Amino acid sequence: MDQDYATYDDDKLLSLLIDRDNRAFSEIYNRYWPLLYKHALRMLKEGNESEDVVQEVFTKLWQKAPQLPSDTSIGAYLYVSTRNAILNFFSKNQVHHAYLTDLGQFLDQAQEITDHLIRGRILTKLIEEEIEKLPPRMREVFELKRKQNLSYKEIAGIMDISELTVKTQMNKAISTLRTKFGSHLPSFFISL
């Protein structure tokens, strides 16, 4: 004779569920799913997420049924499980949201740094090309001053020219570069 599980109270259904009775599980599901879904929907404000949370609760109920104490209040158990699943959902989403926010900021900064480095390399290459176009003596003065960090006096001694000539050649080199690059010329090349 086929039993009508809808007439069973929660205690009887729990007893059958602990023994892995599929029909008892179906009755508990049909009895509590609408209430748990409404609660989840009220908290999460999103239907799909609410369904997922309630489905997870029932999946865990089936998995843990054999370990449940026989005096468990199935309604209270499901309600607390749903509440905990909602809290876990919020917790995961906050961590996920924080991670995505941090990742987005990191990627933005990395992009800015990369763009800055690329522009810097391009500018350096263009400056080097313009330095190569300087007249030989002017280029040599400029390179001794900027690349080897020598004083005007040291450059004058190496090139066997006066300090005034060194200073004049350096000023002309900087003026030429400043005309070409304007405000984009790094201060390293401008300062005397």
pLDDT, tens digit (0-9, with 9 covering 90-100), for 30-81: 999 999 999 899 888 888 999 999 999 999 999 999 999 989 899 989 999 9
pLDDT, tens digit (0-9, with 9 covering 90-100), for 38-52: 989 988 888 899 999
pLDDT, tens digit (0-9, with 9 covering 90-100), for 126-171: 888 888 999 999 999 988 988 888 899 999 998 999 999 999 999 9
Q: Which CATH number fits domain 5-99: 3.40.47.10, 1.10.10.10, 1.10.1740.10, 2.40.50.140?
A: 1.10.1740.10
CA distances from residue 23 to 13, 16, 32, 62, 180 in whole angstroms, order as listed? 9, 9, 14, 12, 85
Among 51, 56, 28, 31, which Cα is nearest to 41's? 51
Mean pLDDT computed over every residue of the chain:
85
Domain spans in the chain, listed from the N-terminal domain onward: 5-99, 134-190
Question: pTM (2 decimals)?
Answer: 0.51
